[in-house]
Chain A
Amino acid sequence: MTNINPVIVALRWEWFRLSRRVGFWAIVGILGLFVVGALAIAVGMRFVPAVGETMPAYGFPHVVFDVLSTLAPFLGVILAGFIFGGEFGWGTWRASLARGMPASRLILLKILLGAVVLVVIWIVAWCLAALVGLVAGENGAEGIIQQSPGFPEGWGDAGLKFASAWPVAVAYLALGTLLCVIGRSTAFGVGVGIGLIVAETIGYRLLGLLAGLIWDIELVDYLRWTLQGVSSGLLGNDEPKAIVFLPALLAYAGLFCWVTLAIFSRRDLDS
């Protein structure tokens, strides 16, 4: 134990605590239902409704990550609630920070844990979808690609879809963390976080109207896609590629972390 990096050890115990929360596994279970449901529909239909052709193997991860991308902001905020919020209610910040561990390290450790948990969920979902795709899908689908430009062109695009949804969830994980710290409670962090996601959707629609009716400029387009969390931006028809927004999402995550640390370090550690 003495040779193991203290950060890794602390991360292990953060995971130990998270893994013993029933609510966490309930969320994972619900997410699993969505994934399995999306796969079941894809297998059942086995064709792309828009063009009426059979789904290629690499289309299955695409379908699953359409669902996961939509859920990613919610997942990020709820996960933040599980990782951070309880510490306020139970007063366990004091227990964790009693021996001089910097608050910044502990907070970053918790965000890292959330990011790792999301990666694991993503990998499991992607592998499951790919496996189902290899069994139930077609080998080639040139017709689909030609007739449906938004559809992935191969395994590379399916992987890119995976890579785009993860930063979305991480950005919302950081946002959820900030909200939990501001409100010093899980309920506040998760409640306001979900409220913001809904508000973002409304804002996206409004900006869409403005873009179409008044300004129609790239900045408005950029804003509205960023606001939507790039949930369906990748590989869209006339939509900007989500990869464009990855730096923006990571910048959001960084900004939220920085503000969280600034607030937390200035505050007294109330019991």
Chain B
Amino acid sequence: MTNTTPENNQSPAVTVSGLSKRFGRVRAVDDVTLNIPAGGVYGLLGPNGSGKTTLLSMLAGFLNPTAGAITLLGETGAAGQRAALRHVGALIERPTFWPYLSCRDNLRCLQGIYASHGGDDEIEELLDTVNLDGDAATRKFRACSTGMKQRLGIAATLLGNPSLLILDEPTNGLDPSGIVEVRELIRDLAAADSTRNGQPRTIILASHLLNEVEQVCDCVGVMARGKLLYSGPVSGMGTTSSNGRVHIRTTDDDQAANLLSEAGWELLDQSEDGLNVAATPGREWEITRDLANAGIYVAELRPTVGSLEAGFMAVTGESGGENE
């Protein structure tokens, strides 16, 4: 398992160690160890049944781990996790509210239960933030569209301005403009500090949309078959699929291709744009040396960064098709 996170002076928002969850004979989450740095957006990717939602449910305190330990916002143990959960907003699987209450009353109820002190101003601000103000606020939850329910779910996670947000596919059911709005909201929320000791807010975002993760997240974790296969910067996912691949443009690509082949370099492909050559990182200079010695000059040489999709496929071992 790869577990690389960016350099960060602050203690991680979430640390899990050897975390497992079994449902009968099924290992939904299998010995996951993970650090999620404080601040920023951490994406969680994985195919259906990979264990993402189970992992998030354990972080949110909904599921009891079979084994392993969770440190949430620096708090450990059952009592510690419960204390930390006061500063955690979670929307997992689907938004759940009392169907006979209006959107506004649902939020007021939860505000009372969570002992959030924002009062009516907080409710109105949140309704406005998720575009549920006006008539939508007075609509009964059971009469809301899927998108409205999802928006209300996001609003509920923001009650009390929590330090950690756990969002499980928050753009599900939203129309394209709604998806864009929610992504912008997530970025804005990540940029703002939480009320808890002025700490930066951390957002964990599980999504099946690779471009969403690419656009919104700073770091990403990839799960498959209950295991965490990769954890690190989003950009690192691309290089995972392109290790040892260099793109070259020269003054004479045909001659360069012949020369490099004769010199023992593996020519991967050639097009009008240039050559792709297999080269382990750190040996790129040898290519320029060989070409220069033959009187061929390099116009461009760069490691090829693969797409997140390609990286995802490489990490999960998927041969193709839709991921979740």
Interface residues of A (CB under 8 A from B): 1-2, 6, 9-10, 12-13, 16-17, 20-22, 86, 90-92, 94-102, 266, 268-269, 271
Smallest beta-carbon distance A110→chain B, Å: 12
Q: Does B92 contact A (CB under 8 A)?
A: yes
Contacts A1-B119, A20-B101, A102-B82 given: A96-B113 contact, CB under 8 Å?
yes
User: Max chain B CB contacts within 10 Å: which of A91, A100, A266?
Assistant: A100
Identify the closest chain B residue to A100 (Cβ).
B85
Other A-B pairs beyond A95-B96, A100-B81, 8, CB < 8 Å = A16-B108, A20-B105, A92-B97, A98-B114, A98-B156, A100-B86, A271-B62, A271-B92
Report Cα–Cα, A220/B85, bound state, in Å. Answer: 51
Q: Given A95-B96, A99-B160, A268-B62, A10 and B112 touching (CB < 8 A)?
A: yes
A17 touches B101 (CB 8 A): yes
**Which B residues between 100 and 116 are near A, CB-CB below 8 angstroms?**
100-101, 105, 108-110, 112-115
- Say how far B165's CB is from chain A's closest CB, in angstroms: 12
Residues of B in contact (CB 8 Å), total: 36
Instruction: Report if B31 contacts A (CB, 8 A).
Output: no
B237 CB-CB contact with A under 8 Å: no
Q: Establish whether residues B113 and A101, one from each chain, have CB atoms under 8 Å apart when the complex forms.
A: yes
Q: Which residue of A lies closest to B142 (CB)?
A: A90
Q: B65 → chain A, closest Cβ, in Å? A: 10
Whether B97 pairs with A90 at a CB distance below 8 angstroms is yes
Indicate if the CB atoms of B97 and A10 lie closer than 8 Å.
Answer: no
Are B115 and A21 in contact, with the CB atoms below 8 A? no
Residues in A with CB closer than 8 Å to B89 are: 98
Task: Report the minimum CB–CB distance from B248 to chain A (whole Å).
Answer: 53
- Rounded to whole angstroms, the CA-CA distance of A127 and B145 in the bound complex is 47
Please measure, in the bound complex, the distance between the C-alpha atom of A92 and the C-alpha atom of B62, giving whole angstroms.
12
The answer on a CB contact under 8 Å between B115 and A6 is yes
| Residues on the B chain within 8 Å of A13, using CB | 108-109, 112-113
| A139, B94: Cα distance in complex, Å | 64
**A102 CA to B113 CA, complexed, in Å:** 11
Answer whether A9 and B82 are a contact pair too, CB < 8 Å, given A90-B99, A98-B60. no
